[in-house]
Structure 1
Amino acid sequence: MATERPDDDFLLPVGAESAGSDSPLLPVSAGPWGEPMTSSPPPYGSWRKSASLAVLVVQTVTLVLTVRYSRSTQRQAQTPYLASSVVVAAELLKIFACVLLLSWERRFSLRSLCRMLREEVVGRPAETVKLAIPALIYSLQNNLLYAALSNLDAATYQVTYQLKILTTVLFSISMLGTRLQLHQWHSLFMLMAGIVLVQWHATAEPVALPSSTGDSEQRLSAGSQFMGLAAVLTACVTSGFAGVYFEKIMKKTKSGLLVRNMQLGLFSVVFGLVGMMVYDGHKVRESGMFQGYDGITWVVIVLQALGGLVISAVMKYADNILKGFATSLSIILIALVSYFWLDDFHPSIVFVPGAVLVLSATFLYTATSESYLTKKFVRRAWPG
């Protein structure tokens, strides 16, 4: 009997100045599409950082609501689409979009495009292989979250998984030399507490799984809960490491965002195909990869492909910590839209205090004049 995957909503697939200095955070050798730039990097408050974070919030909210709508319209369908195939299709679309934009930059010169791809992808295998690490970790993370959701109650999962905010900060400190002010640490713990309250369900009950006979249900055992807790803690660590590792690549790369996205997409397609065959191989063999696809499914694919490009821009022009704040704001917006317009969300009594904590933490982290990140390797790059 095939193992059912959990609800896809749970698996949603995240430069500063030093205080008192005009020195930029990181060198930028290429623009958003790979064009050469001047030796002076953009300031921390550049429009690219703000725009990328704003687009990320809009994209996340739109994607989640579209996925929910697509699932609700297909509940009565005999063959709903496979979430694993949507992931692969989105990566393929992202690669196609990158190639198309790179071709447009070169006035659709096939010779120029092939030469660039040969130099950037084939001619620099060490740089290309670096992107296999986050692609593999992201694929592994989905499996870990699936194991966690299968062995933990929803409340424990939601609370524990917010530790990814802390692991992201710790990896930023160790890998990028990030330094945080005391009030920034306070804001991060406020953010963790706020997200827990926002996502807390008033009627959180232990998960009951069907027994092997199908006649009765069995409560989660202590061993099963331990396995679930180990899975979600591992997912927190891998999430933090993969995000910071990808951020480091994007900010230190000499290649443009489009080239890096294409390289990441190539590995993501390979690992996505493996995951699709592991989870849904029998369904793919019976009805094909594109079973259940309709117009709204392709909208989901387009939004997910766009999300990959937006996150890369956030990693280059902002950072993982700010991405965490943007994602948290997205959760609140999704909840508000679901409550006022979709009528499919009923917040608990602690939702409002949680939302206030998230908004206060965001303001505390970003609004004060001293809330900047400084990184050691940047100061080495610009010693003055």
Structure 2
Amino acid sequence: MVLTETKQGNSSLSSVSESSEMPSISILSTSSQLKYVSLGVLVLQTTSLVLTMRYSRTLQSEGPRYLASSAVVCAEVLKIVACLLLVFRDHSFSVHALNQVLKEEIINKPLLTLKLAIPSGIYTLQNNLLYVALSNLDAATYQVTYQLKILTTALFSVFMLGKSLAFYQWLSLVILMTGIALVQWPAEPASVTKQEDLTAGSQLMGLLAVLVACFSSGFAGVYFEKILKESKQNVWVRNIQLGLFGLIFGLGGVFVCDGERVHENGLFQGYSGLTWTVVALQALGGLVIAAVITYADNILKGFATSISIILSTFISYFLLDDFDPTSVFFLGAMLVIAATFLYGYESKSAVNPSKVQKTGHEMINTPNH
């Protein structure tokens, strides 16, 4: 009888222990799934954005070309609207609850709101610089140079967030940079016609634009991640704040840089279906990056972007028929894949067990280290 009771007691304790562990395992599994889903979407979004933006800036058409500054403003407006809808959904589609959240997080926390003006202004500058770069550089030069943002992000993560990267993680960054350089290494010198199209002045302008964008991307991304960790609040609310400042900075850029052209032909001059596609992809990029920062981190975001370069190269070869892959390309592709797996292995080995104890809300709104 005693043995029976003891077995029953152990059985019940075991069942309670198993049931208590199930939510934690489920939360961790959900977080891991969201991380890889967000990274996959980022790969697709980045690939589409680079191809469509480059094509839209080089496409010859009648009438004036669309203003890059106005496209940045439109993207901010779309991002704000999308984030408002997401917050509205998270609060059971209640207008009153939405107003309360916006009042508490934006109006009643002026210091935190002002902090977000810094990354917002940098992001606005970065978005405009990418249009400048893709208007003055060929795709290969742009893509290779822009991968410097992976290194700048890693350095800012170490100095600003206090992250400690293992030797193999640093090695993976070096391997990744080498692989991307090999993937995008030109097979042969550009033709005389293409060299005439890209003057030395325009190439220098494009190169400077990419370099500044690399440093701004690394700093702004890590700064925003730091704010998210300190505030512990919904990432979509933070993006509304970023978008509001971005809209102000963007409109200022429109009227300072393109005021005369706007006065002559309007804000939406040269817009087409392709232009609106670029705008939508750029707005989606801000949301996807926010999700990646929440579920993963900035360096992993850089790896996803690098993979998208390989994907865009394949698309250029099979659909556009303007790329002839060589053995150097395949070597670079293997190095990038190896670097991605190497960094992923180090990330898994550094998982903090205490995170398993967090609630679902905290897992969603706290970036992984």
Pick the TM interval, shorter chain.
0.7 to 0.9
On the 8 A contact 1:153/1:204 being kept in 2, the answer is no
Q: CA deviation at 1:280?
A: 2.5
Match of 1:297 in 2: 275
On the 8 A contact 1:81/1:290 being kept in 2, the answer is yes
Q: Does 1:52 align with 2:38?
A: yes
Q: CA deviation at 1:80?
A: 3.2
On the 8 A contact 1:208/1:218 being kept in 2, the answer is yes
Q: In 2, Cα distance between the equivalents of 1:172 and 1:361? A: 19
Match of 2:6 in 1: none
Q: In 1, Cα distance between the equivalents of 2:126 and 2:39? A: 23
Equivalent residues in 2 for 1:162-173, closer than 5 Å: 162-173=147-158
On the 8 A contact 1:250/1:312 being kept in 2, the answer is no
Q: CA deviation at 1:169?
A: 1.1
1:20-71: CA deviations, max 9, x gaps?
A: xxxxxxxxxxxxxxxxx99x97479621211111111111122233335545
On the 8 A contact 1:153/1:205 being kept in 2, the answer is no
1:216-274: CA deviations, max 9, x gaps?
A: x9856xxx96x987776554433221111112223333321221111110111111122
Q: Does 1:280 align with 2:258?
A: yes
Which amino acid is the alignment partner of residue 268 of structure 2? F
Which of residues 113, 137, 144 is equivalent to 2:122?
Answer: 137
Q: Does 1:118 align with 2:112?
A: no
Match of 1:191 in 2: 176
Match of 1:94 in 2: 79
Which amino acid is the alignment partner of residue 344 of structure 1? D
Any idea what SS the aligned residue of 1:133 has? Answer: helix
Q: CA deviation at 1:95?
A: 0.7
On the 8 A contact 1:163/1:236 being kept in 2, the answer is yes
Q: Does 1:364 align with 2:342?
A: yes
Any idea what SS the aligned residue of 2:63 has? Answer: coil
Structure 2 unaligned runs (5+)?
A: 1-22, 359-369
Q: CA deviation at 1:293?
A: 2.3
TM norm structure 2: 0.75
CA gap 1:44/1:175 in 2 versus in 1, 3 angstroms:
farther
Match of 2:20 in 1: none
Q: In 1, Cα distance between the equivalents of 2:339 and 2:226? A: 25
Equivalent residues in 2 for 1:1-384, closer than 5 Å: 42=28, 46-68=32-54, 70=56, 75-141=60-126, 161-201=146-186, 202-203=188-189, 233-347=211-325, 350-366=328-344, 368=345, 372-373=349-350
Match of 1:13 in 2: none
Q: In 1, Cα distance between the equivalents of 2:284 and 2:132? A: 28
1:156-212: CA deviations, max 9, x gaps?
A: 8766553332221111112222222222211110111111222233326999899xx
Which moves more between the two structures, 315-324 or 189-198? 189-198
Counting matched residue pairs gives 330
Q: CA deviation at 1:341?
A: 1.0
Which amino acid is the alignment partner of residue 269 of structure 2? Q
TM norm structure 1: 0.73
CA gap 1:306/1:239 in 2 versus in 1, 3 angstroms:
closer
Which moves more between the two structures, 102-111 or 228-237? 228-237
CA gap 1:294/1:350 in 2 versus in 1, 3 angstroms:
same
State the identity as a percent.
58
Q: CA deviation at 1:327?
A: 0.2
Q: CA deviation at 1:128?
A: 1.2
CA gap 1:334/1:117 in 2 versus in 1, 3 angstroms:
same
Match of 1:7 in 2: none
Aligned alpha-carbon RMSD (Å):
3.8
CA gap 1:93/1:140 in 2 versus in 1, 3 angstroms:
closer
Q: Which has the higher helix share?
A: 2
1:252-306: CA deviations, max 9, x gaps?
A: 3332122111111011111112222333322211111112223333232222211
CA gap 1:281/1:353 in 2 versus in 1, 3 angstroms:
farther
Q: In 2, Cα distance between the equivalents of 1:96 and 1:143? A: 21
On the 8 A contact 1:251/1:315 being kept in 2, the answer is no
Which amino acid is the alignment partner of residue 360 of structure 1? A
CA gap 1:350/1:271 in 2 versus in 1, 3 angstroms:
farther
Q: CA deviation at 1:87?
A: 1.3
Q: CA deviation at 1:102?
A: 2.5
Larger Rg: 2
Q: In 1, Cα distance between the equivalents of 2:181 and 2:68? A: 26
Q: In 2, Cα distance between the equivalents of 1:58 and 1:246? A: 23
Structure 1 unaligned runs (5+)?
A: 1-36, 211-216
Q: In 1, Cα distance between the equivalents of 2:165 and 2:277? A: 39
